[in-house]
Structure formats: C-alpha cells, structure tokens
Amino acid sequence: MTRKIGRLDSLLKFTLLATFATTPILAQTLRDRLPEDEVIYFVLPDRFENGDRTNDKGGLSGDRMVTGFDPSHKGFYHGGDLAGLVQRLDYIQGMGATAIWFAPIFRNKPVQGGPGEESAGYHGYWVTDFTSVDPHFGSDAEFKAFVDAAHARGMKVYMDIITNHSADVIQYAECPNSACSYRSRADYPDKAYTPIVPKGEEKVKVPAWMNDVQYYHNRGNTTFRGENSIMGDFVGLDDFATENPRVVEGFIDVYKGWIDRFGIDGYRIDTARHVNPEFWAVFAPAIMAHAKSRGIPNFHIFGEVASDGIDVQAQALHTRVAKLPTVLDFVFRRAAIETVTGRAGTDLLATLFEGDDLYEGGKQTAKQLPSFLGNHDFGRFAREMRVAHPEADDAEILQRVLLGHAMMMTLRGVPTIYSGDEQGFAGDGNDQDAREDMFPSKVAVYNDNDLVGTDATTADSNFDTRHPIYTAIADLAKLRHEQVALRRGDQIVRNYSEKPGLFAASRIDPASGEHVLIAFNTSKEALNANVEVEKSVKKLEVLRGNCPSAPRLAGSVAVSLPAFGYMVCKVK
C-alpha cells in the first residue's frame, strides 16, 4: 500500500528508524511496578478487533433494535470482543503499552433511545448486570483468559467502572415518553417523581438490590450544574442514590468481586464528578485496601473529572475532598492542544505543572495522573491539529501529532494512548465520531476520513506496526522503560515562552539522582536558545534528538531544535 511518506523521510528519519520492540517487561515484576511506570493503551473492545463472529449479536435474535448489532451504523455494535483483544496483544505490547484500559464490558441494555434516536450499548456505559461480561464481548471465562494472557506478558489490566448510573430502566409517571426536567430537593424534599419500572424489567438489574427504586434519586435529568450534577439522571440514565449506605456497601462489594475473581490491576471511574464526594471517600480506600490484601499493592484508581479547560484546581479538588487516588489529566490534554497548535505559548504548560502541588500528595500524585491527548468522548488530537490548521499538509499535521505524543511520553504523568491515534485516526468530532473501528469498518462516515501519515482508510485493517506514529510511540516507550527518571522522576520546568517555541524541563529520579533533560519546539521555525541547568553538570548524552555534548558555560546548555522538534538528553 502506498503511504504518505515522500518528503517525510528527512523530517521523520528518527521516527522511522525507531526500534519497534520494547525492552521485555517480566511478568514477575508486574505487581511491583508503580502506577507511573506504566504506558496505558485505551480501547473500546467493540471497535478494536472481532475475534469471534459468533457473539456479534450477543446471543440475541432479531434485527438491530433487538440485538444492537449493525456494523454499518456508528451508534451500534460492530463486533469487537475479548477474543479480538487477545489476538492483538502482540500489537499492543509491540507499541510499548504495559497496561490495557478498556471501556466497560459489563452486561448492557442492548438498545436505548426514543424513536429516531436509538443506539446500542456498544460502549458499555448502559449497565444492567454489574457482575458479568456482556455476551457481545464474550463470557466471564473469556475475560479470565484475557486477563491471564495479559498478565503472562507482564501487562496490567484496568477496568472501566461505573457507580453513578445504570441503564435507563426507570420511567416517571409524571412525564411518560419524554425527558423529565430536574426537580430540586428544596422544591421536592421527599419525592420528585413517581418511578415506574416497565413490565418485564422488574428484575433486569444485578445485583438484585439495584432493582429497588428507593436506591435512585428519581429527580429527572441533570443539566450538569450545581446540585443536579450529582443528583440528576445522566441523559436519562437511572441515577444511583450514592449517599445511601446500602448503595455504598453494594458497589464496594461489586468491585471487590472483580478483583477477587480476576486479579485485575486498576479501575478507571466513569463520571466521577457526578457522584457525591463522600461516596468516593469511603469507596476508594476500601477498594485500595482490598486490592492490597489480595496481593495487588499498586492498584491504580483514576477518576474521570471531565473538563475542557485549564483548571487544575477543579481537577485536583477530587483528590483532596473526594479522596480519589488520582484523576485523568484533562488539563494536560487541553494544554497540549493549545501549545502544539500554536494558539498558546508554552507558558501554558508551565502553568499546568505549577498546579501539581494542589493534588492530595502533591507532585507525587501528579506523577500518577494518566495524561492523554484524545479519547472516545472529546475526540482525537489529530483532528484538533487539523481544525486549528486547515491549510497545513499531512507532513505538518504529522509533525505536530508526533510532538504531542513526545510531550505525553516524556513529561510527568502516565502516558495514555487512545486506540487508533497510533494509526493516524483523526475522526470527524467527538463521541460516536471518534470511535472508529480498528478492524475493517463498514461505517461510511468513518471510511471517508483522511488518516494522518498513511494512505490507508478505516475500511482497511489498521494494525500497521510501521506507521510513523506507532513506531514513535514504541521508541519513546522503550526509552521510558530504560530511563527511570522519565517514569518516576521529579519534574523541574526550565524554560518556557509566552509564544510558540521552547519548553524545557528536567526529570530527576529522587532515588538514583538520574537526570534527563527534555526540550520541545512548538514553533514552525527552528530555534536556538539556552537552558539553565545545575552548574555541576559536566556533559550530556544523546538519548533522542540533537543534544549538545557539554554545557556551553557552567549552568547553561545551548539547545538547537528544528520546527516541531524535540530532544531527550541524559545529564551527567
């Protein structure tokens, strides 16, 4: 297949010559690794690989309104499953990923939505049974086989979990067949709406206590503000009364059970900001303690505190008040987008990292925040580059995308790659428009997308281990594994600018003293600048890019970077 390389050869020769395979990570060291040691790969199982076509309809019979299966529609099941994940473990590990986080695999209500707005639970967030695997993805036994296969390779498994809501089962007598507006506690202190469970769905939820309507708020739809952000139904989904002790106890038991049965290594918590913080202050310590008692001392919990701005305080608050161990670093995503597009100076990154002390545990906690560039809700990083620079050719967009990934892989935090990003997926927007298939797609609005760095389309199978983004990630993951400072090092910001250009930082491992200097150029122009370092620095060793061999003067290193370039240097 012809690829969009051409004049990229000179621009990306380092990337294209990268080592594909990462240094092996021994299975017996899996439990000893800290959360910040990982490189996370995030997948929607339905959109990754179809390893078993017999489960495409989840054991159901009928059309897509019954089975949820329609591979030509972006809002229905496409057939990806656990068997497919197992088949592609070589591909995932070859990129340097050491942990796999996947969207929920619990049994879902297959189809929801009013007339003309129906879609399926392919994404996993419309749960009816919180204790078993949805048949569209396989069985509990297949999940056990997947976890065991990942662990045998030294790879961790992170589950995506939900406590905020279940599938939309409960209806309200006061507003049948329509969305119900939120009714506040002040106006309706006892009962806001009269809950009705449709015939045949009285016992659809598991565990059984979830079928009792008293364990839900029943106040109508949230507008995502104020009181209703926590107590309202999330787009009609049944909102658990997470302040109720029975609900707290019930969810602790549910998620202890997945640890006991499968030995998984962490939880990403969906819609964490829409649950009262008192719930998390009990739930998170209980789960962490239970995991430790089961021989998993470095269990990684990170909450989704979704935002699209630069507000570290709002994000950090959930580690202090709600006592979540860590949260997904949405602020890093926005800062990376703004700086790599050139809409903001690199001082925005400095502002981001100045806020690290706001987290409970300070900078040590900040090291464990999963940092990411794009995801299934907010869309893809490559699209952000194209929207900001519609005049740019593929070569420039690819350079910007590679620069963003270099930042994510070397700056503090846990790099988190959204599947498809490594194959140049750009998408048409957020949500369903950013949930393309990795296996050959039948969705027309996916297949007309222009992928970055390749002539392939989503109509092809996109597991190309020679794609320039894949190889760049693999190479930087290998470097992270080799350099403890890039995983566990404290971060010192060295240089930044009020306009596009230089951002430099040191990563220094507090245990060994290992010191790595990293520098990036977000400008379209080459730059030459000086970076301050300790006067004790005598020489530098090239890890990646073009590092000087020694300081130009005591305490000062001369840096030369091409447009959108970066360097990684070992300081001695």
Task: Please say if 464 is a catalytic residue.
Answer: no
Question: 244 φ, ψ to 5°?
Answer: -80, 125
Give the 3-state secondary structure of residue 216: strand
Question: 336 φ, ψ to 5°?
Answer: -65, -45
Helices 277-293 & 245-262 angle (0-180, nearest 10): 30
The residues facing 157 across adjacent strands are: 100
Q: How far is CA 288 from CA 209, 216, 283, 428, 554, in A?
A: 24, 26, 9, 39, 47
- Catalytic pick from 134, 304, 384, 460? 304
Tokens of 119: 């879609």
Q: In what order do the strands lie in the sheet with 156-161?
A: 326-327, 300-303, 266-269, 156-161, 99-102, 40-43, 414-418, 370-372
Do residues 507 and 531 make contact, with C-beta atoms less than 8 angstroms apart? Answer: no
76 CB contacts (<8 Å, ≥6 apart)?
Answer: 64, 68, 69, 70, 119, 120, 122
Q: How far is CA 482 from CA 409, 424, 440, 568, in A?
A: 13, 26, 35, 13
DSSP state for residue 165 in the 8-state scheme: B
Q: Please give the Cα distance from 515 to 570 (Å, whole number).
A: 6
The residues facing 77 across adjacent strands are: 69
- Catalytic pick from 36, 270, 460, 514? 270
Do residues 220 and 183 make contact, with C-beta atoms less than 8 angstroms apart? Answer: yes
Do residues 118 and 61 make contact, with C-beta atoms less than 8 angstroms apart? Answer: no
Q: Please give the Cα distance from 92 to 464 (Å, whole number).
A: 11
Q: Please give the Cα distance from 546 to 37 (Å, whole number).
A: 26
Residue 163 C-alpha from the chain's centroid: 18
498 CB contacts (<8 Å, ≥6 apart)?
Answer: 345, 347
CA atoms within 13 A on the CB side of 378: 21
DSSP state for residue 69 in the 8-state scheme: B
Tokens of 160: 């995506």
Q: Please give the Cα distance from 495 to 516 (Å, whole number).
A: 15
Do residues 248 and 164 make contact, with C-beta atoms less than 8 angstroms apart? Answer: no
Q: Please give the Cα distance from 7 to 101 (Å, whole number).
A: 36
The residues facing 528 across adjacent strands are: 560
Residue 299 C-alpha from the chain's centroid: 17
> What's the chain's Rg over C-alpha atoms?
24
Task: Please say if 450 is a catalytic residue.
Answer: no
Q: Taking the CB of residue 116, how many other CB atoms lie within 10 A of it?
A: 5
Do residues 44 and 438 make contact, with C-beta atoms less than 8 angstroms apart? Answer: no
Q: Which residues does the annotation mark as catalytic? A: 270, 304
